[in-house]
């Protein structure tokens, strides 16, 4: 029962992340990508502040030790995670302007395959199932993104760059999360990413505060639910679920992004694109079969 309970929490996390693609897409009608990221990241950081206090209080009542790790590790980890998260989110949010939320979700989910591949660069062995997953992912991306002689469109390319940086993000978290408190690490990375997005907004966009106010619902959904709530659920649930199962459940965000794009925005996928999504989802599943964590 315990495994089922926490698996359901991860399922809810995937649902929130998947449907957040709709909020991110709708926000582009009234605000620039960097302005949106600035707002959602800062909201996410603010939301986690009372969560940290709550968890600290529960830890004290149960007699547990204080949060692990030194302040130096926490600050360095938060800074590194925030820089990579800012870069990945900037590519993703910009790419969503030029592609559908379903395609963006599936291409972003390629980090499940890319993380073990990145581990191979450091001498870690790759099983036959993962190589088969890579082949399926490449074929699926071709069906999903390539149309005739047009090639990969701008949005697809930006979302693929986003997947590369989310791969780096997972690897950086893998390095620092065992040393420090995970929720504190998340809070700092959100503030770092928010400040960098604010600087980018001033440099590359014309700040439109009225447009930002008009996008209040997508900002709150992405900031409170996608950043604050979903990340906290992930932290709590992953401590009680096998990491292979956890990463597989969370990869369902790609399915939810496609379904929510169809149900809410009317963004249907062609038969060719559906076949590509199916192959990419199969690749995501195969990537888990060797029995290694998605963080490799």
Tell me how far apart the alpha carbons of residues 61 and 72 are, in angstroms, rounded to a whole number. Answer: 26
Q: What's the chain's average pLDDT?
A: 82
Tell me how far apart the alpha carbons of residues 196 and 291 are, in angstroms, rounded to a whole number. Answer: 37
215: Cβ contacts below 8 Å, ≥ 6 apart? 26, 27, 29, 30, 31, 36, 39
149: Cβ contacts below 8 Å, ≥ 6 apart? none
**pLDDT value for 136:** 81
Distances (CA, A) of 28 to 32, 69, 158, 219, 288: 6, 39, 15, 11, 34
Tell me how far apart the alpha carbons of residues 293 and 240 are, in angstroms, rounded to a whole number. Answer: 14
Reported as type and span, the H/E element at residue 96 is helix 71-96
Per-residue pLDDT reduced to its tens digit, 247-273: 667 777 877 887 888 888 887 778 887
Look up residue 121 and give its two tokens.
């660069």
Per-residue pLDDT reduced to its tens digit, 162-209: 999 988 888 888 788 778 888 898 899 999 999 999 999 999 998 888
* pTM across the whole model: 0.81
Tell me the average pLDDT across 128-146: 74
Query: Most confidently modeled of 18-22, 127-131, 202-206?
Result: 202-206
């Amino acid at each position: 029962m315990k495994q089922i309970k926490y698996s359901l929490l991860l399922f809810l996390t995937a649902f929130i992340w998947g449907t957040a693609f709709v909020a991110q897409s709708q926000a582009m009608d009234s605000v620039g990508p960097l302005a949106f990221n600035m707002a959602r990241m800062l909201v996410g950081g603010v939301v986690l502040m009372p969560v940290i206090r709550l968890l600290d209080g529960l830890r004290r009542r149960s007699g547990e030790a204080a949060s692990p790790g030194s302040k130096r590790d926490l600050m360095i980890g938060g800074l590194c995670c925030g820089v990579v998260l800012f870069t990945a989110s900037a590519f993703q949010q910009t790419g969503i302007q030029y592609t559908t939320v379903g395609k963006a979700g599936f291409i972003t989910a390629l980090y499940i395959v890319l993380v073990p591949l990145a581990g191979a660069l450091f001498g870690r062995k790759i099983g036959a199932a993962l190589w088969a997953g890579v082949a399926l992912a490449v074929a699926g991306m071709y069906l999903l993104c390539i149309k005739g002689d047009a090639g990969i469109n701008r949005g697809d390319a930006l979302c693929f760059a986003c997947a590369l940086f989310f791969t780096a993000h997972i690897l950086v978290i893998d390095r620092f999360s065992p040393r420090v408190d995970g929720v504190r690490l998340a809070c700092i990375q959100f503030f770092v990413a928010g400040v960098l997005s604010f600087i980018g907004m001033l440099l590359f966009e014309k700040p439109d505060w009225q447009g930002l106010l008009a996008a209040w619902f997508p900002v709150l959904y992405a900031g409170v639910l996608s950043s604050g709530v979903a990340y906290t659920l992930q932290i709590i649930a992953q401590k009680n679920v096998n990491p292979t199962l956890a990463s597989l459940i969370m990869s369902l965000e790609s399915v939810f992004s496609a379904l929510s794009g169809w149900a809410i925005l009317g963004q249907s996928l062609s038969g060719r694109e559906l076949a590509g999504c199916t192959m990419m989802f199969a690749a995501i599943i195969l990537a888990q079969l060797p029995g290694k964590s998605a963080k490799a």
